[in-house]
Amino acid sequence: MQPSNLPATSQHPLQEMTNTTYGSQDLAHSDNNLPDSMEEAARAAERARLRHGIMHVRIDHFYCTLEEMFDPSLRGQSFVIGTGTGRPNEPGRVIDASPAAIQAGITPGMPLRRAHRLALRTRFLPAGYDRYQPFLQKLKECYRFYSRIIESIPISDAFIDLRGCELAFQSPVDLADRLRVEISEMGLTALIGIANGKAIAELAALMSRKDGRNGILYIPSGREASFVQTLPLSLLLKLRAAGTWLPRVAEQGQRQEGYNSQSEHQGPFSQDVESKNGQIDPMAIAELITHLNDFGISTFAQVASLKEEGLVRRLGHLGRWLYHITNGEDNSLVVPDAPPLSQNARVHFHHQADADEACSALRKLADYLGERLREQRLKGLSIALILWPNSIRRETRKLVMDEEGKEMAVTTAEETIGGQMLLSRHTDEADVIAHHCLMLFAHYHRPGVRYLQVQLRIGDIITTMQAYYPPPARSRRLTRKLSAR
């Protein structure tokens, strides 16, 4: 693999991208920052423990709240926001309903005509997406400020992985309170739940207003089972994007082979039922709860007394997922919405660094970027190295277009050197990244040259994990009762 030169200009194109820049504590001098006592090591372990969690932000009545902000006369009234023109005499569905409309029996997703029959005095409004978009954009920017690992949920909710948070905080509750205050300044009310899995975090958010709580509920590690087993099964109907318990490899292979040979022992949920958008069908959850209610099971505590084999036999993989959630085992992960174009990190030296110091800094940059790729479930294909030498300064000429569309030569100062190479496969391994960036450094380094800063970039990034949702339920078979002749 031959390295290819990067264009050398006074302002490198890679400098214009979003970089992770280290300030007063440079990675090149991080040997002095390593924990040299048991107390510092304990503090580092505590910080890592606090950042191992998922924060779920839930904003109820998002559209209705915005409409009340636009028209204060709607406050406290029963009104509905629908698709299309929003008129109840035309085909369409309910997008959002005010609390007063929900008390009248109207729910999101309901046909507008049916909602009109339930509540004749309810006002029906069309959705103004152009007016909502600035608020949605501001919410997403707010989420990204708290973590770089964000999974958005329609419409305004999100899962925030605390491992991607670079802010300093004493506890996840303090961080959630800061986020809740920022959202309240927008005129919105957020419910925030924090746990080690997406499903339990969402359940915590639903319970964050109970028992005098102020909209934040934190479930520490080890207490998930005791929390879930205090809840009713009907709470599953309010989940918008619950996480899943990932099956083992043997189970995945068994699922690919099919269940034709075991269809007689899978119970009433014998066929997969999924919604069109790839998420679990809410009807499947409703059917699951109804099926368990037929046996007198209405709480998670009652599910905890059952065996996993029995739930799998009756409910399929959805029963396995329910069993593990009941026992506090939630291994679901936050999947970023879209992989970033690149991951960058840079080291500024406080002096003119020689080749050994630059190589040491590059090794630390490779370790940092490798850890960052792994935590976001990403892999990169290209590696770019940019060096800021202290002694080399050459002038180059390039052609640009003037105001009249004619070519003109411009002389620019070349302040950086470096290049990039493509790997044979995508990787997130720090050793592979370090090996190739040191190869690049050896190619472009000249004896006696010292450096002011170095930058490493991983590009052509792909995600290594698809979004997972609870496994689909089994559709109930229709059977006919045989009558004696």
308-329 residue pLDDT tens: 999 998 888 888 889 999 999 9
Q: Residue 276: which residues within 8 A CB-CB, separation 6 or more?
A: none
Tens digits of residue pLDDT in 334-389: 877 777 788 889 999 988 999 999 999 999 999 999 988 887 778 999 999 999 99
> Does residue 135 register a pLDDT over 70?
yes
> Does residue 134 register a pLDDT over 60?
yes
- Is the CATH number 2.40.50.140 carried by domain 4-43+341-463? no
The pLDDT score that the predictor gives to residue 484 is 47
Positive or negative, the Cα torsion across 144, 146, 150, 152? negative
Percent of the chain with pLDDT over 70: 72
Instruction: Outline which parts of the chain fall under CATH 3.30.1490.100.
Output: 4-43+341-463
- The answer to whether 306 and 326 are in contact (CB under 8 A) is no
d(CA 144, CA 138): 10
Q: Alpha carbon of 453 to those of 17, 23, 388: distances in Å?
A: 16, 12, 5
- The answer to whether 380 and 373 are in contact (CB under 8 A) is yes
Out of 99-108, 293-302, 329-338, which region has the weakest mean confidence (pLDDT)? 329-338
Instruction: Outline which parts of the chain fall under CATH 3.30.70.270.
Output: 51-223
Q: Can you name the CATH fold of 51-223?
A: Alpha-Beta Plaits (3.30.70)
Indicate the helix (H) or strand (E) that contains 216.
strand 216-218
Tens digits of residue pLDDT in 417-446: 888 999 999 999 999 999 999 999 999 998
Please state, rounded to an integer, the average pLDDT across all residues of the chain: 78
Indicate the helix (H) or strand (E) that contains 367.
helix 355-375
> Does residue 477 register a pLDDT over 80?
no
> Does residue 280 register a pLDDT over 70?
no
Q: What is the pTM of this model?
A: 0.65
Tens digits of residue pLDDT in 239-270: 876 544 333 333 333 333 333 333 333 444 43
> Does residue 97 register a pLDDT over 70?
yes
Read out DSSP for 427-450?
A: E--HHHHHHHHHHHHHHH--TT--
Average pLDDT, stretch 85-94? 86
Phi-psi bin for 122: left (phi > 0), alpha (psi -120 to 50), beta?
Answer: beta
Which residue, 180, 175, 173, 133, is CA-closest to 156? 133
- Chain centroid to Cα 130, Å, comes to 25
- Chain centroid to Cα 113, Å, comes to 36
At position 445, the amino acid (one-letter code) is: H
Q: Report residue 272 as tokens.
A: 């997969």
